[in-house]
Structure 1
Amino acid sequence: MHDRSLLTRPGSARRNVLLFLIGRGLVAFASQMLAVALGWQVYASTGSALTLGFVGLAQFLPLLVLLRWSGAVADHFDRRKVASFAALGQAAASLAIFAVAAKGAPVWMLYPALFALGSARAFAGPANSALLPEIVDTETFPRAVAMSTTVFQMATIAGPALGGLLFAAFGLKIFPFCAALALGAAPAVWAIRRPEGAGTRPELDPAQRDALAGLRYIWSNKVVLGAISLDLFAVLFGGATALLPIFAHDILHVGPQGLGILRAAPAAGAVVVSLVLTTFPLRRGAGRKMFVAVAGYALATVVFALSTSFQLSLAAMAALGAFDVVSMVVRQTLIQLATPNEMRGRVSAVNFVFIGASNQLGEFESGVAAAIIGPVGAALFGGCAALVVAAVWAAMFPQLRKADAIGG
């Protein structure tokens, strides 16, 4: 029974997983298309690497500002409804971005819409992360995480590529399309049936009632702290994604279509590994494999930085995504299985801030570095720094390095 695929199991469990994956896929698809269109529009109109950095910063700040409430909301309210309203918020923010861009307004006027987009994601992340363990059992949770990651990566393969093509063909009209996709995710998640007992959570002690209890929990659990912070600093320094509009425009000369393909390449590599992990979940040597994957991620970033060939750059980005997904699956599984259900929202909120810091704040760091030492120098520095981070964290967190089994 335990070996049966989640999608072949009868009853509400299969229905819930399907609805969850549909909602996650639509939001991921919309987000990736939006990122391609926004990155190309901003850089083509300003030619400023620093402005690209501020685009990432505007989306990260809400994650930090709302940390005290986003996780607590996921723990105290119906997580399906929180995720649904967050999807509606993303749709509204996409329309606001379209309105500003269509008027030809100054770029700084995009920042309130980007802040709203980040706010929607601040609530969506903890709610979705905490919802998944409620609809699958502990034994199959690692496989469910891999399936969710697979759907996400498949969306991020098609999303950026199609986003680049649609932007080249239809320009700013791509933004309302992104809004429609996010809008479609809301009813899918809302329709998930809550398993019996999911709405009943144990009484919390006074310390756990604090919305920041998740931060204290992570600090006390060195395996979880090591996994989250390793991902934070490795991607913060090594993330070359924010520089892709510059590489596509100025170095590889491949236009918005090429930018879409470049953004899709990490997902192409990631989905292959995700599919393998769905069939053969990580069971042993998880910590060691995570460090190897982060080192591979760093080396792939270095190759991308030095490449002037579109084909080699694509290969490097695909390898980057393949290594990154291993770290992602290990981190998500460790966090969700080690955290009590009544605290998963708050712990996930902190994790989501770390992820946002590594992605959006990483975009800001990359934009600033590119403005100072150029895009090639920024990407090269980032890859080397990520490699150093992996070595230092292996020494600082032996508990994580020695972590063996995850899941049942």
Structure 2
Amino acid sequence: MAFCFFCSCFCLFPTFVKNLQSLDNSASNRNDPYASLRYKEFNYYLVIRFAFVFALAMQFAIVEWKVYALSGDPFSLGLIGLAEVIPAVLLAPFAGHLVDKREKRDMLLKCVVAYLAISTGLFLLTWDKAVEGISTHHVLLMIYVLVFFGGVVRSFVSPSNFSLMSLLVPRELYANASTWSSSAWQIGGVLGPALGGFCIYWFGVHWSMLLVVIIFLAPLYSLIQIKPKPVYYTPKGETFFEGLTSGMRFVWKTKVVLGAMALDMFAVLFGGAVAMLPAFATDVLHVGSLGYGLLRSAPAVGALITMFILAHKPLVNKPGLKLLAAIFGFGLCIIVFGLSTSFYLSMAALLISGALDGISVIIRQTILQLKTPDDMRGRVASVSSMFVGSSNELGAFESGFMARQIGLVSSVVFGGCVTLGVVVTTYIISPAMRKLDLKP
């Protein structure tokens, strides 16, 4: 059922693109909520964005469930995040530097092939016949190794995606394009973990992972439909080391960008409860794999609602204050989730946290698109992935470590409280964030 649903959507997409082409391409008014969707290649980009996140979110939901089933230890869930974040952080400067020098579509094609190989490996590791005679310890170790290689690939995917989007729509549509791009990301984030949980319930872990392998084939068609794009980066006598670190220097000098990245990083680092959901679903809420799928998708459902609202009502007035308020509310939701013993209250807390997090995502992406020069997009996006993207995995490790030290519930509540403290501190010390303006 899940596979048929995905294939139907993907097969109907070319017709959807043709219909969009029949619309007036001159409708690039920033007040038009569908302005960026008038551009054919941007729609293919949305499919790529969706398919990547859908497959990876589903894959991680399945891997997390499998790892917890094998180990029964919340700390083992934290190690999944640690295994991915190490290469993602270490390789980020090099990946951004390389992406700026190379054609973006070609980079993404290579990343798709790499993800296919990794997912195939995870498919084999979840097959009882393939791992027969191998100890549980070694199976877990091999899963962590493949997750590690996934982190290597991700270090290239993030800057490639970020750089490609800016080449598909005019500058005045960056905010609108960021909203739709984030929507595609959130739709994948909704369907991926939800179908992951449902497929585990219906088919088991092994066949669910096979579906992930098949889904990774989807971006290939869309990438072929996008024409190669120009490369703007031309080294001007800078050394290799200067090229690697120029993105970091730019972020450090641009205080609004630095503030947005740091705020989101600490909020996600200490306020992330998603990595502990297998433990909450099993040991606290007692809802099994089906409930786990619903819990896993709740934040993305909330964020998706926010994305569609903001596509029609952009954040124009005082976006910095709205960003701070949204992350403060996010921290409160995490505290409620940690204390809840009701499945429905936990669902509601995660749903609202996702809606508030959606505001943060759109504002941060718009800041990056508007403030970053074309020839530095890959390197700045890599720095962003170090700050924000990797904080999800570091947050997973932090949650797993704290769960072992002070208990599962206490670790999540503690993280939510730290998030509140980070927001208050940022409000006090960052006037640039309070006065943020997103006009291009």
| TM-score normalised according to structure 1 size | 0.95
Contact kept? 2:50, 2:184, Cα under 8 Å: yes
CA distance in 1, matches of 2:123, 2:52: 17
Cα 1:153–1:312, aligned 2, differ >3 Å: closer, same or farther? same
The answer for the alignment partner of 1:6 in structure 2 is 35
Q: 1:383 aligns with which of 385, 402, 416?
A: 416
Choose 23-32 or 150-159, whichever is displaced more: 150-159
Query: What is the distance in 2 between the residues matched to 1:68 and 1:270?
Result: 29
Of 16, 25, 33, which aligns to 2:58? Answer: 33
Aligned to 1:284, what secondary structure does the other structure show? coil
Partner SS, residue 212 of structure 1: helix
CA shift, 1:98, in A, is 1.9
Whole-angstrom distance in 2 between the partners of 1:203 and 1:352 = 23
How far 1:187 sits from its partner (Å)? 3.2
- The residue number in structure 1 matching 2:16 is none
1:344 and 2:377 aligned: yes
User: Among 91, 110, 126, which residue is 1:85 paired with?
Assistant: 110
Structure 1 regions of 5+ residues with no counterpart?
A: none
Confirm whether residue 243 of structure 1 aligns to residue 272 of structure 2. Answer: no
Query: Alpha-carbon deviation of 1:15?
Result: 1.4
User: Cα distance, 1:7 vs. partner?
Assistant: 5.6
Distance 2:49 2:68 in 1: 28
Native 8 Å contact 1:90 1:121 kept in 2: no
Q: Deviations over 1:71-128 (max 9, x none)?
A: 0121011111112211221221111122223216431121210111111111000100
Q: Distance in 2 between matches of 1:303 and 1:390?
A: 18
- 1:388-407 to structure 2, matched below 5 A, reads 388-403=421-436, 405-407=437-439
Return the letter of the residue paired with 1:6: A
* Aligned partners of 2:260 and 2:433 also within 8 Å: yes
Contact 1:242/1:363, CA 8 A, preserved across alignment: yes
SS at match of 1:140: helix
Match of 2:74 in 1: 49
Match of 2:231 in 1: 199
Over the matched positions of the two proteins, sequence identity in percent amounts to 36
2: CA distance, partners of 1:128 / 1:232: 20
* Residues 151, 48 of structure 1: alpha-carbon distance in 2 compared, 3 angstrom cutoff: same
1:222 aligns with 2:255: yes
Go from structure 1 to structure 2 and tell me whether the alpha carbon gap of 1:58 and 1:335 turns closer, same or farther (over 3 Å shift). Answer: same
1:248-274 CA-partner distances (Å, limit 9, x unpaired): 000111111111110100011101110
Equivalent-residue separation in structure 2 for 1:190 and 1:260 (angstroms)? 33
Aligned to 2:4: none
* 2:233/2:376 contact within 8 Å kept: no
1:41-80 per-residue CA deviation (whole Å, 9 max, x = no partner) reads 1111111111111111001111112123110121011111
8 Å CA contact retained: 1:266, 1:321: yes
CA contact (8 A) 1:53 1:363 kept: yes
TM-align CA RMSD? 1.6
TM-score (structure 2 length as normaliser): 0.88
Q: Tell whether the 8 Å contact from 1:142 to 1:407 is kept in structure 2 after alignment.
A: no
Paired residues, what number?
A: 401
Per the alignment, residue 260 of structure 1 pairs with: 293
Q: 1:134 aligns with which of 152, 159, 167?
A: 167
Letter aligned with residue 177 of structure 1: L
Asked if the contact 1:213–1:346 (Cα under 8 Å) also holds between the matched residues in 2, the reply is yes
SS in structure 1 at match of 2:407: helix
What amino acid does structure 1 have at the position aligned with 2:35?
L
Cα distance in structure 2, aligned partners of 1:158 and 1:8? 22
Q: Residue deviations 1:196-223, cap 9 Å, x none?
A: xx33445545279512210111111111
Structure 2, unmatched stretches of 5+, are 1-26
1:76 aligns with 2:105: no
